[in-house]
């Protein structure tokens, strides 16, 4: 009898999970000018049935600064992860942002790409 109770509790826990669904998992800056606005936003929705808590957001380098939501995102609600790339660095942009949360997929990798052109370059 105890086994059946544990099994049903385990199934119930899976039914009440947070799920994070991003509008897009890649942001393409395209070609941007050196020193231009490097702030972009990843939008997401909690499509699960439990509050979504993003515990950590890390970048693959110091040239990209991600900012996570502070509080939990309720089921059906949307949220944003802001990313600021240092556009004073000329050249290609190929960076990864790792998002850690309590979602059914606890780790998501987001990507930014593009090219920062030197001033006056065509």
pLDDT of residue 15: 66
Contacts of residue 15, Cβ cutoff 8 Å, sequence gap at least 6: 49
How does pLDDT run across 9-37, given as a tens digit for each residue? 444 445 689 999 999 999 999 999 999 99
Q: What is the SS3 string spanning 36-50?
A: CCCEEEEEEEECCCC
- For residue 22, being part of any structural domain is answered with yes
Count: domains in the chain: 1
How does pLDDT run across 52-69, given as a tens digit for each residue? 999 999 998 888 999 999
- For residue 96, being part of any structural domain is answered with yes
- For residue 64, being part of any structural domain is answered with yes
- For residue 122, being part of any structural domain is answered with no
Q: Supply the CATH number for residue 54's domain.
A: 2.60.40.10
**What is the span of the domain harbouring residue 11?**
2-117
- Cα–Cα distance, 39 to 29 (Å, whole number): 10
- For residue 65, being part of any structural domain is answered with yes
- Cα–Cα distance, 71 to 69 (Å, whole number): 6
The answer for 41, left when phi > 0, alpha when psi is -120 to 50, beta otherwise, is beta
Does the model's pTM come out above 0.95? no
pLDDT of residue 121: 63
pLDDT of residue 9: 46
């Amino acid at each position: 009898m105890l086994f059946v109770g544990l099994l049903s509790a385990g199934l119930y826990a899976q039914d009440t999970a947070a799920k994070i669904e991003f509008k897009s998992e890649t942001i393409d800056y395209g070609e941007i000018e050196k020193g231009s606005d490097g702030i972009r936003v990843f939008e997401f929705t909690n499509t699960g049935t439990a509050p979504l808590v993003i515990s950590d957001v890390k970048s693959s380098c110091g040239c990209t600064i991600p900012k996570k939501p502070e509080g939990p995102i309720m089921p059906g609600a949307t949220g944003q992860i802001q990313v600021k790339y240092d556009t004073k660095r000329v050249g290609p942009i190929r960076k990864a942002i790792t998002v850690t949360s309590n979602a059914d997929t606890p780790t998501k990798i987001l990507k930014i790409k593009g090219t920062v052109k030197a001033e006056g370059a065509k």
